[in-house]
Amino acid sequence: MSILTFLVIGLFTGIISGMMGVGGGLIMIPAMVLFMSIPQSMAQGISLAAIVPISLMGAWVHFKKGGLKKDAIWIGLGAVVGASITSSIIPYMPISTLKIIFSLVLLYFALRMILK
């Protein structure tokens, strides 16, 4: 049952992110938190690991098509440093704070989609 739920959430996330150009995490995480009662920090960790194969697949397609520029190396370098810093502070952040930050970011991007 649970396997099926995760597959369906993944499938739905993939369709939406493929169509809308919105990142998968913004859809997967609320789905896990609201429908499956998974704590925010756990949902974020599960989301990150799920994005690994999804983004690898996407990167490979773009690499073959030539859209992926070598600049990605420098961006990736900065991203690794940035992600290391914020991932490391997660255990010290209250789940309620994480949830509020996440919700506000989500609300911001939702409004941007509506108004643009």
Considering only residues 81-100, where is the footprint of another protein by CB under 8 A?
A: 81-91, 96, 99-100
Name residues contacting another protein, limited to 43-72 (CB under 8 A): 43-59, 62-63, 65, 67-69, 71-72
Given phi > 0 = left and psi -120 to 50 = alpha, else beta, which region is 6?
Answer: alpha
Q: Where are the alpha helices (DSSP H) in the chain?
A: 2-20, 25-36, 40-65, 72-89, 95-115
Q: CA 10 to CA 113: how far, in whole Å? A: 22
The least distance separating another protein from the CB of residue 18, rounded to whole angstroms, comes to 2
Count residues near another protein (CB under 8 A): 90
Name residues contacting another protein, limited to 2-21 (CB under 8 A): 2-3, 6-21
**Does residue 35 bind another protein (CB under 8 A)?**
no
